[in-house]
Homo-oligomer: A and B are copies of this chain.
Amino acid sequence: MRINRVVLIGAGNLATNLGHALFRANISIVQVFSRTRQSAKQLANALHTSYTVNLNEVVNDADLYIVSIKDDALIERVSEIGAIRSDGLFVHTAGSVPSHIWQGTVARYGVFYPMQTFSKERIVDFENLPLFLEASDSTVLASLKELAKCLSHQVYEADSLQRKYLHLSAVFACNFANHMYAISAELLEKHHLPFQVMLPLIDETARKVHALSPREAQTGPAVRYDKEIIAMQEDLLKDDVELKELYTRLSQRIHKH
């Protein structure tokens, strides 16, 4: 079955980016649902479609319902969402939520997990974005694959356990790496230095692991084990005990590796 008519359940960062990607691939987005009127309206407007804030007003004739809401909310509200159309096809987009949450609620379901960092303020290109699919049966899988390939060149299958580890790995490579940028930005700000100067370094750090493994790419005082520099940098952080401890811990880990 070819998927033509899609409903977006959720209007957050991921739904917004996926919505734009579907729109650009000429997939018809027939409706946007969000409990937050402003989000629903904003995304629906951007995608030239309608919206609702009531789950019981969601249309029941779509080919696919893409559910992109907070993971906790997804687990809680799955049966309520599935009730929109018990013979409908439902997918969620969460890395760490297993596909079996749909079991007993709907017969045809799956997961459509785009592994990327999404913000509403920045619409990303899906072309080279890895999409991980899981499906309740081979017919559903074929439909999801066809749709996914309209969006990206990198379409993979992954079961719920693999996806859990993908998501956990992504938390380190993206969320925690970004937090390192945030700490860097804070330190610079505190000492009246512009974060801008850090960008060539951040870019090269990311580019480097295309060619070398992260272990080979590692540089800095910790891997060289420059003890005096490490002690001096710990001293610079002495007013922020928690941050100092984090510095020590990460330096030790890098040295041990």
Contact = CB atoms under 8 A, between A and B. Distances in A.
A70 B215 CA distance: 19
B187 A218 contact: no
B213 A195 contact: yes
Interface size band for A: 35 or more
Q: How many copies does the complex hold?
A: 2
A70 B254 CA distance: 17
Contacts of A246: 249-250, 253
A175 B209 contact: no
A170 B191 contact: no
Contacts of A178: 205, 208-209, 214, 217-219
Given A165-B188, A213-B185, A249-B246, A170 B198 contact: yes
A55 interface: no
A168 B198 CA distance: 11
A215 B182 contact: yes
Contacts of A154: 197, 200
Nearest to A98: B232
A205 B13 CA distance: 14
Contact of A117 (B13, B171, B205): B205
Interface of A: 13, 70-72, 75, 94, 96-97, 115-119, 121-122, 124, 128-130, 154, 156, 162, 164-185, 187-188, 190-191, 193, 195, 197-224, 226-229, 232-233, 236-237, 242, 246-247, 249-250, 253-254, 257
